[in-house]
Amino acid sequence: MMSQSEMTWTSGLIPIIEPEIVSEIISRIADLALVISSSGTVLGVLSNPNSKLKYAFSRWEGQPLSAYLTVESIPKFEERLAAFVASGGAAVRPVELNHTATREQHEFPVRYSFHRIGTDGAILLLGQDLRPVAEMQQQLVAAQIALEKDYEAQREYDTRLRVLMGAMHEGTLFVSAGTGEITDCNPFAVSLLGVSRGDVMGRALPELVSLGDGANLLDALSRVASAQTGNDVRVKTAGGRELSLRPTLFRATGEQMLLCQMVDAEGISVRSDGLEEHLSELFDRGADGIVFINKSGSVLSANEAFMRLTDVVHTEAVKGRTITDFLGRGSVDLNVICENATRTGAMRLYATRMIGEHGVEIPVEIATTFLNNAQEPVFAMVIRDASRAEMVRKSNKQITDVDMRSVIELIGSQTLKGIVAKTTDVIEKMCIETAVELTSNNRVAAAEMLGLSRQSLYVKLRKYDLLKKEHDE
């Protein structure tokens, strides 16, 4: 036999509950319970004693609920209340409202559900405090932001590592100390090993290089790295190339790793494209003379082609000597070359003559580059023999047909002395134009090259109307 109460619940009927007990039940099942009129005026307030809301809710009674809502929540409340009243108490979706802040309580969100009670139009709002949900959402957002920042930092560090490894002038390998697997490498290491990057990544280091005596390579690297003596381990590639590995032991994410810095057996770093080797071959075997000088003009190094141009027996005989000993115009040439190369970074072409050890002069063309990436600035000069080109090349400053006709027309109308004077003017003008062009319009250097004072050069420039010509250009 079932009890009377059990029969009542199962038959869909709610047993009669006393009013004070109803209030207690409502206050327990909701964080905040409001009884409002159909116009939105608060008739009564019940709050859960276990709720963390610290608010003087008693002052709400007799006041419109919208007075305690934020600006964006008022339209939402009025719309949902009107829909509930218009439907005659039918179920409507809950609404989330934000209550205004006070001295005791910050702004807080509540989700309200609407319920019809009695026949006098009163409406019961059961509210659930959403602050725990909001706090959890804020924590998730903060965690997501922190995670994205970590990803950005990781990508930044990874990019820095790639740039650093690509810029290093020696091979670099990251190797697992336990398995010997190569986890990362730079292009120089790939070039030294003589294989492609795909053949290096993921393979065990002992498969690519080995010790000469057949000993365990990983044990030898770990032993040298642990000793911290800075010694190298000599290995051989499958192609027979001898390499030197300098290991450094470190721990990453709980795993021991080896950083292996790799050079050839003679300690020479190798670029992935062999540029250094090619430049060395060009310097030694190039057809044009190459000489490096400092700012004072002292020769630092010179190649064999320069030796042939100057008839010097060996390179030691020119080191320390000044380049002006071999330039046709001496310090004038040097000043023009250095000044223009320093100002623009490079002087593409400068025509002069080289004087050999035995006084033989050879016309040359000099291209100079200013290297300012060392402790002492250096000028690199590439000198080309222009004797053959000079024989077939017509000078840009030959006497023009107009000048020649003007001289010929003077015959019969003037004396020989007058004709010679006019011819001298033509030649003088041509020489001044050539000097100004060779010195890149450096008036001081041009005057020194022509053996004139600076004032005399300006007079002649005005005389031949060359100042106006340069201004127009």
pLDDT digits (tens, 9 = 90+) for 227-281: 877 678 888 887 778 888 888 888 887 888 999 888 887 655 455 456 667 788 8
Q: What is the pLDDT of residue 395?
A: 46
Q: What is the pLDDT of residue 293?
A: 92
Q: What is the pLDDT of residue 392?
A: 46
Q: What is the pLDDT of residue 266?
A: 61
pLDDT tens figures, 73-107:
999 998 988 888 888 777 788 888 988 877 766 78
Q: What is the pLDDT of residue 397?
A: 46
Q: How confident is the model at residue 197 (pLDDT cuts 50, 70, 90)?
A: confident
Assigned token pair, 206: 């002992």
- Which own/partner pairs from 231-237 qualify as long-range (CB within 8 Å, at least 24 positions apart)? 234/265, 235/209, 235/210, 235/211, 236/209, 236/210, 236/211, 236/212, 237/192, 237/193, 237/194, 237/208, 237/209
Q: How confident is the model at residue 3 (pLDDT cuts 50, 70, 90)?
A: low
Q: How confident is the model at residue 373 (pLDDT cuts 50, 70, 90)?
A: low
pLDDT at 284 over 60: yes
Which is higher by pLDDT, 416 or 164? 164
Q: Does the fold of domain 401-472 match that of domain 275-392?
A: no
Q: What is the pLDDT of residue 20?
A: 64
> Where are the chain's structural domains?
4-129, 168-264, 275-392, 401-472
pLDDT at 453 over 50: yes
pLDDT at 2 over 50: no
Q: Distance (Å, rounded) from C-alpha 368 to C-alpha 381?
A: 4
Label each residue of the chain as H, E or C.
Answer: CCCHHHHHHHCCCCCCCCHHHHHHHHHHHCCEEEEECCCCEEEEEEECCCCCCCCCHHHHCCCEHHHHECCCHHHHHHHHHHHHHHCCCCCCCCEEEEECCCCCCCCEEEEEEEEECCCCCCEEEEEEECHHHHHHHHHHHHHHHHHHHHHHHHHHHHHHHHHHHHHCCCEEEEEECCCCEEEEECHHHHHHHCCCHHHHCCCEHHHCEECCCCCCHHHHHHHHHHHCCCCCEEEEECCCCEEEEEEEEEEECCEEEEEEEEEECCCCCCCCCCHHHHHHHHHHHCCCEEEEEECCCEEEEECHHHHHHHCCCCHHHCCCCEHHHCECCCHHHHHHHHHHHHHHCEEEEEEEEEECCCCCEEEEEEEEEEECCCCCCEEEEEEEECHHHHHHCCCCCCCCHHHHHHHHCCECCECHHHHHHHHHHHHHHHHHHHHHHHCCCCHHHHHHHHCCCHHHHHHHHHHCCHHHHHHHC
Contact (Cβ atoms closer than 8 angstroms) between residue 129 and residue 108: yes
Query: Is 401-472 CATH 1.10.10?
Result: yes
**126-136 mean pLDDT:** 83
Least confident window among 17-31, 291-305, 419-433: 17-31
Query: Is 4-129 CATH 3.30.450.20?
Result: yes
Q: Is 405 left (phi over 0), alpha (psi -120 to 50) or beta?
A: alpha
| Percentage above 90 pLDDT, the chain | 5
Mean of per-residue pLDDT scores for the chain: 80
Q: What is the pLDDT of residue 374?
A: 56
Q: Distance (Å, rounded) from C-alpha 336 to C-alpha 333?
A: 5
Contact (Cβ atoms closer than 8 angstroms) between residue 258 and residue 248: yes
Least confident window among 116-125, 155-164, 183-192, 286-295: 116-125
Who's near 68: CB < 8 A, 6+ residues apart? 60, 99, 100
Which is higher by pLDDT, 92 or 410? 92
Q: How confident is the model at residue 382 (pLDDT cuts 50, 70, 90)?
A: very high
Q: Distance (Å, rounded) from C-alpha 268 to C-alpha 250?
A: 26
Q: Distance (Å, rounded) from C-alpha 146 to C-alpha 380?
A: 53
- Which superfamily is assigned to 168-264 in CATH? PAS domain (3.30.450.20)
Q: What is the pLDDT of residue 379?
A: 92
Q: What is the pLDDT of residue 394?
A: 47
Least confident window among 20-29, 235-244, 371-380, 422-431: 20-29
Q: How confident is the model at residue 383 (pLDDT cuts 50, 70, 90)?
A: very high
Q: What is the pLDDT of residue 193?
A: 85
Q: How confident is the model at residue 131 (pLDDT cuts 50, 70, 90)?
A: confident
pLDDT at 390 over 60: no
Q: What is the pLDDT of residue 292?
A: 92
Pick the CATH number of 275-392 from 3.30.460.80, 3.30.450.20, 3.30.300.30, 3.40.50.300: 3.30.450.20
Q: Distance (Å, rounded) from C-alpha 157 to C-alpha 4?
A: 74
Q: What is the CA radius of gyration of the chain?
A: 47
Which is higher by pLDDT, 67 or 448? 67
Rounded to 5°, angle at Cα 296 from 295 and 300: 80
